[in-house]
Structure 1
Amino acid sequence: MAERESEIHARHNGTSQIYSVWPRSPAEPATVGGALVAPRLPPPPARSIRDLIIMGESKWMGKRWEEMDTDVLVKIFKELNLVELSPVSQVCRLWRLACSDPLIWGTLDFGLLKSNFIQTRASPYIWVDDRSDKRLAKILRVAMAISRGNVNCMIFHYNLYMKDEHLHYISQRSPHLKRLVMPAWNRISRAGICQAIERWEELESLTMPTIGHPPYIMEGLANNCKNFKELKIMGSFDLLFASAVTTYLPKLKVLSLRCSKVTMGALQCVLNSLEHLEVLNISHCLLFEMATNGRRQVIHELDNKALERASRLREFHHCQSRQCVACQRMMLDEGILRWYRYEDWFWRRDEVRSLDLKDYGRLFGAQCEMLTSVD
C-alpha cells in the first residue's frame, strides 16, 4: 500500500491526521484517521465555451475541431439546414465527409419550395418564371454537391414545377433514391421521367399525379425498379390507370388513392387483380360509376362484394362520411382537390403510415426558403 500512496499531514480537530490521496486502487477508499472521505482532486483547467461544447460531444478532449470523431460531427451537423451546411462542408476534408453522411441526407424535403407560376390554357397548362427555375437549379446544385449521392428520399411540393433539366440533374446525382414524392409533372416529358427511372434502380415508393397515358411509367417501374412496392396517386384513378398498375406491377404491396376521384371499375380491378396487395387507402375518395343514362353517379357506400375483397387486406382505409371535413372538401371540389385552398400540411397527410410525410424536415426549413434567392 505504501508504495502506491503518497501521504500528507493536515490539522484536524487539533490533532495531526494522515490523509490517503490518489493514486490508489478503486477498492481502497481514501481515509482520515480510519474514516472514509471523498478524495480531493485538482480543479479542472479553465476552458472556453467552445471547448466545453467539444468536451460534451467528444470522448477525447485533446482533439482539435478538424480532428473530431466523424460520428460526433454528424450529430452536430444534423442540427444544421442546407444554407448552414454549405460553408461548413468547405472547412476541411473531414467536415466535408461528415456533411455528406447518409444520416443527414436520409430525407431531402423541399415541401416548402414552390414555383412562381401562372396557369395557362395550352399544354403544359403552366408557365413558370425564369427566376423560379434558376432558384431551383441553384438549390439542387448545393444539395447534390454536399450529399454526394446519399439522398434516399426526396419530397417536392405539388406547386413545384420542375423541368426535364432539373430531373436529369437529380437522377444523375442520387443513384440510391428509394422514395420520390413528386406530385407535379406538367413540365416533365415522357422521355425525361423514363430516363430518371432507369437510373433509380433502388426506387421502392413513388407519389405521382394523374397522367394521360400511365402504362409507360408503370412499365418503366417494372423493368428498372425490382424492389418497387408503394404507389400513391394524387388526382384521378380510372380503369386505364388501374389496368396499367395491375398489368405491370402485380406484386405491388401498398396503394394509396387518398383524396382522388376513383371509378368503381378501377377499384374492382385493383381488388380483383392485385393478389399481393397488403394495404389500400381509398379514404376521402370520390367514388363514382356511369349510370345507364350516361350520367355520373356518386357511390356513398361500398357493396358487400367490394368489402369482402377488401377484408383480405392487412390494412384497408376507407372513409366516405358526410361529416368528414376531407370528404366534404372532395365533394365541394368535385373530386379534384384544389389543394391551395386548404392547410399547407393537408396534402402531406396519409392514413398509411409509410406514406405520411409528417412534419417538414430540418434540411430545408422556412429559413432556407427565405435565404435561397436568386440575384
Structure 2
Amino acid sequence: MAPSNVNRDWTELPAVITASILSRLGDIESLTVAEMVCKTWREICKDPMLWRTIDFMNNHTSFMFGPPLCYDIVKMCRRAIHRSSGSFVYINVDYFCDNELLKYITNSSAGFIRHLSLFNCGIINDAVLCQAASRLRVLEELDISMCKFSSMAIQIVGLCCPRLKSFKFNNRNGRRSSRQYYRNEDAVAISATMHGLLLLEIRSNELTYNGLAKILDCCPQLEILDLRECKNLKLMSRDLETRCVERIKKLWFPIDPSDPSSISDLNLVGKPCHN
C-alpha cells in the first residue's frame, strides 16, 4: 500500500481530467490564475472546448463591481471569445456589454449561440440588437431585462430567432414607451413572433388584459409566466385569471412578491463543460 502522505503532482493528471476540473472554474480565474500555474494548464486553458460557455457573472459580481475594479472585463471577454474559436454556445455578459462587444460576439460566433444574457446592458441600441439577432438563428434563451429596446426591436428578434423558448424582458428601470396610451406594444410583438415560447418574464411591463390574452392565444406552449408588478393587470378578470391558472404550470401574478430567490428559469441550454 502506498503511503498516505505521498505528494501528488497535479500536472501528471490525464489532460481530459484536468480539462474537466478547469472547466468548472470561473472565467476570470481561468484567464488570470489557472493558466499561470504551469505550461500544461496554460495549454488546456487555450482549448476552444473549454470556452463553449462564457459567463463573467458566475460568482464574480464582487470582482466586477466592488472597489477597486481591477479587471478589464470587456477585454477579458474578447479574449475568451477568441479562445473559443467561435464554438461558444452560452454567453452571459450582464451589466457590461456595449454595442461594440455585442457586434464582436455575434461576428465571432460560428452560429452556435443558444443562450445570450444582456441583463442591464442599457447602452445597447435597437439597431445593434437587431443586427445581432440576424446571426442568432439557433438562439433558445434571451435575457434583455433592464434594457431600453423598443417593441419593434423585440419583434425583429422574434422573427430572426425562430427557436426562442425563453424570453426575459423585465422593465423595472427600463424604457417607457413614448405612446403611453398604447401599452400592449411589447405583448403584440411577442405574440406575433415568439410562438414557441416556454418561458416568458415581463415583470413591470405595462401590458393590459388584451395584451396578456393575445400572448396566451399565440404562445400555446407557454409553461412559465412571470407577471409580477405589471400594474395594469392587478384587477384581472376571473375568466383571464382562470385561463392563466389552467394553462400555465408556473405562474406569478402581478401582486405576488418579488422574491429574488424565486427565479423562473428553464435551464434549457445549461452550461456545457468537459465530462
TM-score, normalising length: structure 2: 0.72
In structure 2, the CA distance between the partners of 1:166 and 1:102, relative to structure 1 (3 Å rule), is: same
Q: Is the 8 A contact 1:208 1:234 kept in 2?
A: yes
Structure 1 unaligned regions, length at least 5: 1-42, 55-63, 117-131, 289-298, 328-345, 362-375
2:251 to 317, 334, 353: 317
Superposed counterparts of 1:99-248, under 5 Å: 100=47, 102=49, 105-106=52-53, 108-110=55-57, 112=61, 135-157=72-94, 160-174=95-109, 175-209=111-145, 211=148, 213-223=150-160, 225-235=161-171, 238-248=183-193
Q: Give, in whole Å, the separation in 2 of the partners of 1:115 and 1:194.
A: 29
Match of residue 303 from structure 1: 237
Q: Is the 8 A contact 1:100 1:150 kept in 2?
A: no
The answer on 1:49 being equivalent to 2:14 is no
- Please state how far the C-alpha of 1:194 moved relative to its aligned partner: 2.0
Q: Is the 8 A contact 1:264 1:287 kept in 2?
A: no
Structure having the larger proportion of residues in strand:
1
Superposed counterparts of 1:336-375, under 5 Å: 346=260, 349-354=261-266
2:229 to 275, 285, 305: 285
Q: Is the 8 A contact 2:186 2:207 kept in 1?
A: no
2:20 to 48, 57, 75: 75
Q: Is the 8 A contact 2:187 2:207 kept in 1?
A: no
Q: Is the 8 A contact 1:235 1:259 kept in 2?
A: yes
Q: Give, in whole Å, the separation in 1 of the partners of 2:149 and 2:78.
A: 31
Q: Is the 8 A contact 1:253 1:276 kept in 2?
A: yes
- Please state how far the C-alpha of 1:219 moved relative to its aligned partner: 2.2
- Please state how far the C-alpha of 1:77 moved relative to its aligned partner: 1.3
- Please state how far the C-alpha of 1:240 moved relative to its aligned partner: 0.8
Aligned amino acid, residue 75 of structure 2: K
- Please state how far the C-alpha of 1:213 moved relative to its aligned partner: 2.6
> For 1:199, what is the secondary structure of its paired residue?
coil
What do you get for the CA RMSD once the two structures are aligned?
3.8
Aligned amino acid, residue 144 of structure 1: I
Deviations 1:275-299 (A, max 9, x none): 33333222x22331xxxxxxxxxx5
Q: Which has the larger radius of gyration?
A: 1
In structure 2, the CA distance between the partners of 1:353 and 1:48, relative to structure 1 (3 Å rule), is: same
Q: Is the 8 A contact 1:85 1:99 kept in 2?
A: no
- Please state how far the C-alpha of 1:203 moved relative to its aligned partner: 0.9
Q: Is the 8 A contact 1:100 1:148 kept in 2?
A: no
In structure 2, the CA distance between the partners of 1:100 and 1:196, relative to structure 1 (3 Å rule), is: farther
- Please state how far the C-alpha of 1:204 moved relative to its aligned partner: 0.5
> For 2:258, what is the secondary structure of its paired residue?
helix
4+ residue segments displaced more than 4 Å: 43-48, 87-95, 101-105, 113-116
Using CA pairs under 8 Å that are at least 6 residues apart, name the structure with larger relative contact order, 1 or 2.
2
Deviations 1:27-48 (A, max 9, x none): xxxxxxxxxxxxxxxx648995
Q: Give, in whole Å, the separation in 2 of the partners of 1:262 and 1:350.
A: 22
Aligned amino acid, residue 159 of structure 2: A
Identity score, percent? 17
Q: Is the 8 A contact 1:258 1:350 kept in 2?
A: no
| Residue correspondences, number | 252
Structure having the larger proportion of residues in helix:
2
Q: Is the 8 A contact 1:278 1:314 kept in 2?
A: yes
Q: Give, in whole Å, the separation in 1 of the partners of 2:219 and 2:29.
A: 46
Q: Give, in whole Å, the separation in 2 of the partners of 1:184 and 1:256.
A: 15
- Please state how far the C-alpha of 1:76 moved relative to its aligned partner: 2.7
2:258 to 312, 326, 331: 326
